[in-house]
Amino acid sequence: MAIMTVTVLVPDDDGVVALSEVAGVRPVRYTVGEPLPEEAAEAEVLIPGFAWSEDTPGLLERLPRLKLIQLLSAGAEDWVGELPPGVLLSTCRGAHGGSTAEWVMAVLLSTFRELGRFAGAQRAGEWAPRSTDTLQGKRVLIVGAGDLGRQLRRKLEAFDTWVTMVGLTARDGVHGVDELPALLPDSEVVVLMVPLTTRTRGMVDAAFLAALPDGAVLVNASRGPVVDTDALLAALRAERIRAALDVTDPEPLPADHPLWTAPGLLLTPHVAGSVRGARRRSYVVAVAEIERYVQGELPDNLVHGEY
């Protein structure tokens, strides 16, 4: 009996190498912005090397046998609801949890140990010793109990923090989002690690921020629109809380946007997962997902229903 071969469109040489040893897969290289290769007519799987745009539907129309889009990112919000009927969508959940959790640890340590202040003193040639706060013993609330949240919890607990997990639904060891009003007043740190969905968009509004204790630190490692920017600006300007953002709304952040100069804010340009080896780790997950598809199984990271 002949073995069926699945054609996979791959945007780079790393992907070709990663998929070349997978039984039943024929990786075909394509270049973003150039005409698709002839083999595209047979492609069942597409690994995008591009963000969703107004040109994407036209490209997908040229893939008549497309059955699965395998992302190299954990976020899928731009793709949900936009795909042709019958086309599955799988994310790269599990590839970037470690690096994103590392970024959260970095900004929390920088915030509590005031590394920015000491760096300023160094530039000014000032020897300015002072006592700082510490991450040790802090009560940390992680909103998002998936791979990212679990990776972060493991790292935080090594720093002797008290960690509480919140998921979109309650389960063993994880509180539900409906419990947030009771949890926020005791949380000295709140870290957002949820996907952007209809349920999480605008989750962090004025009421959410008002429930936090004075001096709390909000960290957004998810997506910008999870936080109401105007509400956050008001809380920062009142100097009641501090924040660290890797994502913003809008994004990219315009040069004249007030977030740039907001007090108590540490801001990075969506780089939490941008580390050496990130693409390789993405392909480890993508290859496993495509192997499941080729074997007639559903990918583990399949995006289901409302997102």
Amino acid at site 180: L
Non-local (6+) Cβ contacts of 125 within 8 A are none
- Residue 223 annotated in active site: yes
Tokens linked to 46: 């597409």
Q: Which of 26, 113, 139, 270 is catalytic?
A: 270
- Give the three-state DSSP class for 45: strand
Is residue 9 within 8 A of residue 41, CB to CB? The reply is: no
Number of other CB atoms surrounding residue 297 within 10 Å: 10
- State the DSSP H helix or E strand holding residue 6, giving kind and residue range, or none if neither: strand 6-10
Q: How far is CA 100 from CA 69, 70, 204, 220, in A?
A: 24, 21, 20, 11
Tokens linked to 194: 């949820």
Q: Which of 223, 242, 281, 289 is catalytic?
A: 223
- Residue 270 annotated in active site: yes
> Within the chain, what is the greatest distance between any pair of CA atoms?
77
State how far the Cα of 226 lies from the Cα of 207, in Å rounded to an integer: 14
- Give the three-state DSSP class for 15: helix
Q: Which of 125, 138, 143 is nearest to 216 (CA)?
A: 138
- Give the three-state DSSP class for 195: coil
Q: Which of 113, 251, 279, 291 is catalytic?
A: 251
- Residue 251 annotated in active site: yes
Helices marked H in the chain:
13-19, 56-61, 97-112, 115-123, 147-157, 180-183, 206-210, 229-237, 278-294
Burial of 97 from C-beta contacts in 10 A (0-12 / 13-18 / 19+): buried
Residues annotated catalytic, as ranges: 223, 251, 270
